[in-house]
Amino acid sequence: MPKVSNKGKQMPESPIRKLVPYSETAKKKGHKVYHLNIGQPDIKTPEVALAAIKNNTVKVLEYSHSAGFESYRTKLSNYYKNHGLPIELSDIIITTGGSEALLFAMGSTMDQGDEIIIPEPFYANYNGFSTASGVNVVPVISSIDTGFALPPIADFEKLITPKTKAILICNPGNPTGYLYSKEEIQQLADIVKKHDLFLIADEVYREFTYDGDQHYSVMNVPGLEEHAIMIDSVSKRYSMCGARIGCIVSKNKEVMAAAMKFAQARLSPPTFAQIASEAALDTPKSYFDEVITEYRDRRDTLVAELEKIDGVKVAKPKGAFYCIAQLPVDNADDFAQWLLESYHLNNETVMVAPAAGFYSTPGVGLNEVRIAYVLKKEDLIRSVQILKEALTAYNKK
């Protein structure tokens, strides 16, 4: 029988989705499962985006330009400028989600065996994109005790080798919710300039910051133009995860020329979804005000409820809609599976994402889970209540 590739074998499973068969079984048993495991918001997509799909008069669903509709890129560039980011049309290539932008960024900057330094815990699919690109992830550990702040720059320095090509950050962070300060971004800018590396910043949660904290983009750092690559997406901003539209942004012409060749090879990003994404740029500010208020309330509720449980430690997120919680268990993987397979409270249970999959250092984060606060407040309160009872039952086993 022909054999699959080593790369195929090495591709990591998604820690966010790997427990899905157990949740399906729980549902077949008639149990309600609260999904705290996945960043699929229940927030409505803006009306303007949906209306553009319903009302369009397209007769042929053609390919678009490989970099995406020019009209969309123009409007997107204006959107960024209105948000203080000096981004021109030529700095943007529209991609099939932020996911494809990450693949293009790696493909355009790294060769087989090159190294990318990433503060962990990190968005688990960075492992998958790195494996697919033949790139080795070099993790630098950030700690729940500092709320997952940027690790000391000396920790990065120690890891830089001739193979290091880039540092990748997620700001605000999935799964940590950490928002890097201007000073932290500046420290990263200094180190990438010193060692001639790229700084790839995944900013798909840019709008989701709470407590009045300001997001500071890598596209705003003077002198970083040749080093900075920004990853963006409509998935979370407009609750349009299924549209599959994102973009890669850089002022480095060589990077954009390389990324464009990857873009040409896959022909174009999805046409219908670009129509919706372009229209979404007209979303009124009031939509975001409401959404941010809703997420802030959810965050506050979730953190307050979790902190009531003995032995649970949580780093209060400053942005995005996730948090990492340390639980009084030895193996959160086992606990998360047990919740679905063997536990229910009045026929209800919860699904969380074991955090070990968000680290690449083996043995770290074993007692942590990632919780996405994408459910309404009542459901979050109920979920944490179930979690509390479940922890007691699990530790009595």
Instruction: Give me the long-range contacts of 115-118 (CB less than 8 A, separation at least 24).
Output: 115/161, 115/163, 115/164, 115/165, 116/164, 116/165, 116/166, 116/167, 116/168, 116/200, 117/156, 117/159, 117/160, 117/164, 117/166, 117/167, 117/168, 118/167, 118/168, 118/169, 118/360
Measured over the CA atoms of residue 374, residue 379, residue 382 and residue 386, the dihedral's sign is negative
Closest CB to ligand PLP among residues 192, 240: 240
Q: Is 269 in the site for ligand PLP (CB under 6 A)?
A: no
Kindly state the number of chain residues that form the binding site for ligand PLP, as judged by CB under 6 A. Answer: 13
| Contact stretch for ligand PLP (CB under 6 A) within 22-30, 46-54, 67-75, 92-100 | 92-100
Instruction: Decide: is 124 part of the binding site for ligand PLP (CB under 6 A).
Output: no
Contacts for 247-250: CB closer than 8 Å, 24+ residues apart: 247/68, 247/76, 247/92, 247/93, 247/94, 247/95, 247/101, 248/92, 248/93, 248/95, 248/101, 248/104, 248/105, 249/80, 249/87, 249/91, 249/92, 249/219, 250/91
Please select the residue that binds ligand PLP; options are 77, 130, 174, 252, rule is CB under 6 A.
174
Among 15, 41, 98, 319, binds ligand PLP (CB under 6 A): 98
Q: How far is the CB of 45 from ligand PLP (least distance, A)?
A: 13
Among 43, 153, 241, 258, binds ligand PLP (CB under 6 A): 241
Q: Kindly give, in sequence order, each residue whose CB lies less than 8 Å from that of residue 121, ignoring residues fewer than 6 positions away.
A: 142, 148, 175, 176, 324, 355, 358, 359, 365, 368, 370
Interface residue with ligand PLP among 18, 19, 33, 39 (CB under 6 A) is: 39
Site for ligand PLP (CB under 6 A): which residue of 68, 119, 139, 246?
A: 246
Dist CA 306 CA 312 (whole Å): 7
Min dist CB 112 to ligand PLP, Å, is 23
Residue whose CB is less far from ligand PLP, 16 or 387: 16
**Nearest distance, CB of residue 102 and ligand PLP, angstroms:** 6
**What H or E segment, with its residue span, contains residue 379?**
helix 377-396
Contacts with ligand PLP in 221-240 (CB under 6 A)?
Answer: 233, 235
Q: Give the residue nearest to ligand PLP (CB).
A: 97
Q: 204 or 340: whose CB is closer to ligand PLP?
A: 204
172 is a contact residue toward ligand PLP (CB under 6 A): no
Confirm or reject binding of residue 97 to ligand PLP (CB under 6 A).
Answer: yes
34 in contact with ligand PLP (CB under 6 A):
no
Note whether 170 binds ligand PLP by CB under 6 A: yes
Q: List Cβ neighbours of 180 (8 Å cut-off, separation of 6 or more).
A: 150, 169, 171, 172, 188, 216
Within 286-345, the residues that bind ligand PLP by CB under 6 A are none
Judged by CB under 6 A, does residue 123 bind ligand PLP?
yes
Binding residues vs ligand PLP (CB under 6 A): 39, 97-99, 123, 170, 174, 202, 204, 233, 235, 241, 246
